[in-house]
Chains A and B, each alone.
Chain A
Amino acid sequence: MSLVFAGVCSHAPGITGRADRADPAVREEFYANFFRMGRAIKDSGADTLLVVAAEHFANFFMNNMPAYCVGMADYYEGPIEDEEWLGINRFRVNGNAGLSERLVNHVMNEVDVAYAQEWKFDHGIAVPLHFLTPDYDLDVIPVNINCQGPPLTPLHRAWKFGQALRAACDAQPEKIALVGTGGVSHWPATPDSGKINEEWDREFLGRFVANDKDGLLSYSDEETYERGGQGGFEIRTFITVAGACEGQPGDLWFYAPIPIYAVGCTVATMQVG
């Protein structure tokens, strides 16, 4: 069929692991929009959820770090973190190895990707799934972009990757939802945890919802690191979604800095055209 849904969301572990320490009113509005995105995915008729994440040394380490990787397994497990620490119980969710292989083969016409037949989800995917498919009844295909540290794939390649994913999805009979997860600015797990550059976030998200290709691709990694922290490197996942929906506008459903969650919490969609 084709790509039937696209969106982006945050994935910080504090969203579930330190849930009760945020202002309840802000937290509930954020959660409501997260769950709303889950309903929108279901309403789109999607049978598979493609999650473009930025994992944090759960499956990939500095001995062999792919710039891009696509999961190609029949099932996945998570979270890899301590259940109590993350606030999410262990789960297993179905994948679709056959669809993964078709997607990888298609994407490889444009972008070289690694594949993984084993993948343990960390909070980068487990937190979004907790809200988007809480019963784990939707097939999931994980996708990773290395955002943890340099050398990093250039932003224009992340855009190209999104376009390649889009072409691959549109060539399949399945109905596929695409969700990117990450940033925007944050300094997670450092002494600056809780610092959020709201001005930079809103500037970036403005470019995202406008699907302003030139604006989105204009950030240097130096600027991102200075204004958005090392967590800001995760803008690559948002840019991939924008690339997949080139020319289509987005809609920011929710944004609010929640320092105890260590990120400006974001839920946004993008028209797939």
Chain B
Amino acid sequence: MSLYYVQKLIYELNRDPQVRSRYEEDFGELLKDYDLTDEELRAIREPDIGLLYVLGVNGQLLMHYAALRGYPWDDYIQSMKDGLDEHGPVRAGLYARTGGGAI
């Protein structure tokens, strides 16, 4: 589990134009800079927004990655709901405290 580095990658994609350029030129090469598990790499590459949510990525980061990958707002929300159904409760991070957001 390297949730920190998943979130760091997305954080840097969101705010750093140079990282964004590297993402556009060679995403695979960029991903080598981050300590990620195979599951995390798959979730980021596909992308599997629902799995990223279940892995514990903060929504304030994830919503921008979803937008970058072409997800309209409603699809982004639905992807997280689908992710909970497919992969089970959120595993780590802030949202794990409520088992996936449902209170």
Partner of B77, one of A56, A59, A193: A193
Residues A81 and B64 in contact in the complex (CB < 8 Å), given A61-B11, A188-B59: yes
**A189 and B14 contact, CB distance less than 8 A:** no
Encoded as 1 (CB less than 8 Å from any A CB) or 0, chain B from 46 to 89 comes to: 00000001000011111110010000010001001100100000
Secondary structure at the A interface, as helix, strand, loop or mixed, is loop
Collect the chain A residues with CB atoms within 8 Å of residue B101's CB. Answer: 187, 190-192
The interface size bin for chain A is 20 to 34
Residues A230 and B94 in contact in the complex (CB < 8 Å), given A18-B73, A56-B60, A191-B80: yes
Residue A80, interface by CB 8 Å: yes
The interface size bin for chain B is 20 to 34
Collect the chain B residues with CB atoms within 8 Å of residue A229's CB. Answer: 103
Residue of B nearest to A82 (CB): B67
Secondary structure at the B interface, as helix, strand, loop or mixed, is helix
Residue A31, interface by CB 8 Å: no
Residues A63 and B8 in contact in the complex (CB < 8 Å), given A58-B15, A80-B15, A191-B101: yes
**A192 and B73 contact, CB distance less than 8 A:** no
Name A residues whose Cβ lies closer than 8 Å to a Cβ of B.
17-18, 56-59, 61-63, 80-82, 85, 120, 148-150, 187-193, 225-226, 229-230
What are 7 residue pairs bridging A and B, where the CB atoms are less than 8 Å apart in the complex? A58-B14, A85-B67, A149-B58, A189-B60, A189-B62, A191-B81, A191-B84
